[in-house]
Every structure is written in structure tokens, then in C-alpha cells.
Amino acid sequence: MQKRKIGIHAAGFIGWGGGIDFLRMIIRSILATKKYEVVILLPDQLSFRDRVRRSLSRFTNKKNNAPRQFSDHRDLFQEFSQEAKSATYKKSLKKAVKRHRIDLLIPCIEAVNPDIDIPWVGYIYDFQHEYLTQFFTPEEIKHRQVQFGNTVHTAKHVIVNSYAVKKDIGKFYPDSTAKVTNLPFTPLFNRQLLSSNFTEIKSRYALPDKYFIISNQFWIHKSHITAFRALHILHSISNERIAIVCTGDTGDSRRADYFDSLKKEIRDLGIEDNVFFLGYISKPDQIQLLLHSIALIQPTLFEGGPGGGATYDAIAFSKPAIISDIDINKEINDPLVTFFQVNNHADLADKMKTVLEQHKSSHWKLDVNKLEEEAAQRISVLGDVLSALIDSI
């Protein structure tokens, strides 16, 4: 019996690290079922959404005077080259679908044109624009509402990253008839991401021995400022000069001066020498920094998936994470996670101090075999969920 061909619709995801990681998670899990052929459909040019995300990220890292780089999107899924086909198309997705005989498209961040006459699965990332309206212009809010409305009223099936987003679809689009599947929390260890050399990275950026790490884009809702204020408090109650290392793009279209305002507050707090901005770095470099950190900090005000991508990485690689106690983050049930009161820098400082003391007495070691076993189990669970969805269409 011929296997169905599943087209991974990459447009809209490949201009930002979180989107790429999400696609990798979907691809790995579908391939693990061994039930389908997978074709990764890559636009020859970035979508409007991806171009905007990338344009926000162009800056020069003043610490090492190196321009921010982003890999060519055609090479992003090289790890699947033996199991899945990558196909680049120009303007016409319809022609690509026909050429590669695709039977189903997943995940689709925007509604698929009706002239593409095959089933497709929509994807809704979050409803931040409905809750944190102060971070959006009226035009941006309207754009999202129209985009999401088109998806939930056109798609027969939609996937989301959390139970919270599934509830929000019912709340904001009660007349939608789409079947919504919330994907299980799936942190995935990947041995291939251990390729970088920490000693070289540490020397390149002149990093300290003890630091917490934040790996978020500098969007306002990620609330980096909460962590910086917490670090200031931590310094006042500890003799150690602990640092925070930040990775991620520094632009936010909603407030062009946001990053500069953060740097000013850091100077005012007197912790300028203890906060490091590395910009967008390679995933293997980011993982090495995570592995050698005290813990991840995730001070976010809003997410579409529990903890955001950085928390997925921390748990996948068995590192502690201190994360805000917003409802969606509470969907995580893992001993590696410590919650702090959202927006409360004093509470975060207290949690950082506790985790720091635990770090001093721990003998942490990376157990690759154990982590691979855990990843295989998680992939199997997600694969079953996606397989059940695909087979129902």
C-alpha cells in the first residue's frame, strides 16, 4: 500500500527560531511513525511574515562586532535529508503540491487558497493580541483577528501548542466548526546539537563562570526587565557576582526603542557588566550555553506553548528552569521547573537564589542515553497524536 505524502508547509515559520524548532518537532514525530512520506515545502522567498521577523533582527553585536547571521532556510532541515525530501518552490504552492503529489498539508499558519484541493491542517500560535492589547496597534490586532478567523472558519482541523490556546479558540471564535487538537508538551533532546565547543564560545564572548541564561527574542512580552531587576536584588543579597547571558534577536516592531530602554535600565541598576547580549547565535552554541548555565530564566508574560521554546530546550537537556506562573506555563509538570510570580522581580530573585544554592551542591552530568530515551518516548506520543489526526482526514 502506497504511503500518503505529507507536505510540511514551512512558509511563515522559517523566519524565526521558534518556528523552525516547531517544524522540526512536527517532522521528527511524523517520521517516527514510519507511516508516511514527508516532503518539506520551502518557499524560494520568505513570506511577508518571515521577512518582517528577519528585518527586525539585523543588528551588530557590540561585544564582538559580528553581524547577526541567519542560515539560508534551504539548509535548515538538513538533519532529515535521509528520511524526508526538501522541495523549494517559487510563487505557486499549488504547483508544488501537484508536482510532489502531496496528499495533506500541515501545519498551515495561514488559510490555504481554496484552489489547492487537498486537506490541510491549520495552526494557531497564540491570542496575545486579545490579552495584551497595549503591545499591538489596532491594525495589527485586526490583521491577527482576520488571519485567525480565516483559519478557524476554513480549516476542518487546527493544531495548537497548548490547552490554553484551544480554549481561546472556543472563547474568541465560538462559531468555529474546526476540530482543534492541542499537541502534548514535547521537549526533544537532539544529540546533533552538542557539536559546539563551550570553551571556545565562552572565550569568544568573554563570559563569566556563573550565569543564568535567557534565550528569547527581545519582544516586550518576554519581560526581560523582570529578570534584570531580579539580578540587581540578587547582587544585594549575595556576595557573588552572578551574570545573565541573553541570546536572541533584539528587535520588536511594536516598540523600536525597547532594547535601548532595557540597556538604559541595566546601566541605572548598576549591572551593566553582568548582563551579556549575544544576539542570534547558532542552536548548538545556544545549547552549550544552556548546559553550562546555572538555570534557564523564562520571565515571559504570554506564550502559545507552555514555557516557550527555551523551556522546551531546558527540559529536553535536563537543565533547571525558573519560569513565570502564567496559566499556560502551569501546563508543565516537571521537577526541573520552578515557578515565580509573573512580573514579580523580588520573587524571581528569591527563586534564583534558591536555585543557585542547589546548583552549588549538585553534581549535574549530561546523560545522553537517558535523554535520548526520554525524547524517543515523547516523539512516540506526539507521533501517535499527529497520526491519529492525519488518519482521520
- At 33-62, the pLDDT tens digits run 999 999 999 998 654 444 444 443 333 333
| 182 and 51 in a common domain | yes
Grid cell digits, residue 4: 500518503
Q: What mean pLDDT is predicted for residues 130-140?
A: 92
Residue at 367 is within a domain: no
| 220 and 107 in a common domain | no
pLDDT at residue 65 tops 50: no
| 198 and 183 in a common domain | no
How far apart are alpha carbons 306 and 371 in whole angstroms?
Answer: 20
| 205 and 154 in a common domain | no
| 282 and 209 in a common domain | yes
What is the tally of structural domains in the chain? 2
| 174 and 203 in a common domain | no
- Indicate yes or no: pTM above 0.85: yes
* Per-residue pLDDT at 253: 66
Residue at 368 is within a domain: no
Helix (H, G, I), strand (E, B) or coil at 127: coil
Residue at 103 is within a domain: yes
Residue at 247 is within a domain: yes
Residues 6+ apart with CB under 8 A from 212: 227, 231, 242, 243, 244, 245, 293, 294, 295, 296, 297, 322, 352
| 206 and 180 in a common domain | no
Predicted confidence (pLDDT) per residue in 137-158, tens digit: 999 999 999 999 999 999 999 9
In terms of phi and psi (left: phi > 0; alpha: psi -120 to 50; beta: otherwise), the region of 325 is alpha
| 266 and 250 in a common domain | yes
* Domain extent for 41: 4-187+373-391
Residue at 323 is within a domain: yes
Amino acid identity of 369?
N
| 180 and 239 in a common domain | no
Predicted confidence (pLDDT) per residue in 182-195, tens digit: 999 999 999 999 99
Say how many CA atoms lie within 13 Å of 304 toward its Cβ. Answer: 17
| 175 and 205 in a common domain | no
Predicted confidence (pLDDT) per residue in 239-252, tens digit: 788 999 999 888 76
pLDDT at residue 12 tops 50: yes
CB 293 within 8 A of CB 320: no
| 270 and 132 in a common domain | no
Q: Domain containing 152 — which CATH number?
A: 3.40.50.2000
Query: Could you tell me the pLDDT band of residue 69, with boundaries at 50, 70 and 90?
Result: very low
CB 225 within 8 A of CB 265: yes
How far apart are alpha carbons 188 and 24 in whole angstroms?
Answer: 10
Run of H or E including 179: strand 179-182
| 200 and 130 in a common domain | no
For the chain, the maximum distance between any two Cα atoms, rounded to a whole number of angstroms, is 67
